[in-house]
Amino acid sequence: MGSFFSPMKVVYACTIAGSDPSGGAGIQVDLRTLASLGIWGLSVITALTAQSPSAVRRVEPVPPPMIASQCEALLEAFPIGAFKTGMLGTAAACRAVADLLPGDIPLVIDPVMVATSGGRLLDEDAVEAMIEHLLPRATLLVPNLDEAEVLTGRPVRDLQEMREVGEALRALGAGAVLVKGGHAAGPEAVDLLVDGAGAHPFSAPRLPFEVHGSGCCLSAAIAGGLALGLPLREAVALGKNVVSGAIAASIPAPDGRRMANPRPVHSPPCGCFPPPGSP
C-alpha cells in the first residue's frame, strides 16, 4: 500500500462554504475529502450553522467583508491550485467571492440551496447573483436535479433533460456542468458531464439511503483533482470514485441519518504532504 507522504511540493485547494458542526457536510467534510487525496485544505467560512444531519436550526451568515478578508489572506499566503464553493447563503456573499477569485485558478461551484434535511441554505435573491456573478467564472458547476431546475426554470427527469439543462447552464457562462442524478430513480446513480466535447455519463450503483454531505464531498474531490493537475474529465472520475466510497463507508448518526465518510486515498496521482524535514 502506498503512502500519503511524498517529497513533492504541497498541493493546496480552498473550500469556500458554511460550517456544519455535525462534521458530515460543509467545510468539515470538504477538508476531510481534500486530506484523503493528500491535499492541504484551506477554508473560507461563509456561514455558521446550527444543524444536525437531520435538521437545520439556525444559520448566521458571515459578513461579506470578513469573507473577503479570509480570501485575501489565503491568496496572499498560498499558491492555491483550485477553489470550490459550497454554501454561500446570500447575494452579497456571491458577489464578494466572485470579485475576489482570480480568473486563472480552477473553480468548482456546488450551488448549495437546500440541505439534505430540507433546510434552506441559499436566499432566493442570491440565485440571480450566483447566475450573474459566479457562473461565468465556473470551471465546473455541479448542481443536483432540483438545483438545475431552479437555475434554468426547466424540469429535469431523465438523461436527455439533464443534457439540455447542462447546455443551458453552459450558455449562461459555466465552462462545464456536471448534473448530478442522485435524486433520480433507477439502480444506477448517473451524473452527466456536459462540456465543450459533448456529454459524458459517470455512473455508480445506487445505495438505498441518502447521505448527508455527499454533494460537498463530490465537489471537493473534483476541486482536489483539478488542484492536482488532472484534466476535467479525470478529475470528475476521481470525484465520483471518492464520493462513491464515502457513501459506501457512510457513518450513521444516532438519529439514523448517514453522513459522508471519505476514506484515505493512498498514492494520489501527484503532490501531497511531504514528511518532516523535506525541502
pLDDT score for 126: 83
Average pLDDT value over all residues in the chain: 87
Report if residue 271 sits inside a domain.
Answer: no
pLDDT score for 207: 81
pLDDT score for 4: 44
What is the rounded CA–CA span in Å between residue 250 and residue 263? 10
What is the rounded CA–CA span in Å between residue 274 and residue 11? 10
Report if residue 185 sits inside a domain.
Answer: yes
pLDDT score for 116: 55
Residue 215 maps to which CATH number? 3.40.1190.20
Report if residue 114 sits inside a domain.
Answer: yes
- Name the residue range of residue 151's domain: 12-259
Global pTM value? 0.90
Report if residue 2 sits inside a domain.
Answer: no
Report if residue 273 sits inside a domain.
Answer: no
pLDDT score for 276: 37
- ∠ CA 168-224-69, rounded to 5°: 85
Residues in the chain where the model's pLDDT stays below 70: 1-8, 114-122, 182-186, 266-279
C-alpha cell at 125: 435573491
C-alpha cell at 242: 471518492
Report if residue 276 sits inside a domain.
Answer: no
Report if residue 68 sits inside a domain.
Answer: yes
Contact 264, 215 (CB under 8 A): no
Residue 55 is classified by DSSP as E
Tally the domains of the chain. Answer: 1
Q: Which residues of 69-82 are buried (b: 16+ CB within 10 A; e: fewer)?
A: ebbeebbeeeebbb
pLDDT tens for residues 23-64?
A: 999 999 999 999 999 999 999 999 999 988 888 889 899 999
Report if residue 267 sits inside a domain.
Answer: no
Nearest CA among 108, 103, 94 for reference residue 15: 108
- Secondary structure (3-state) at 35: helix
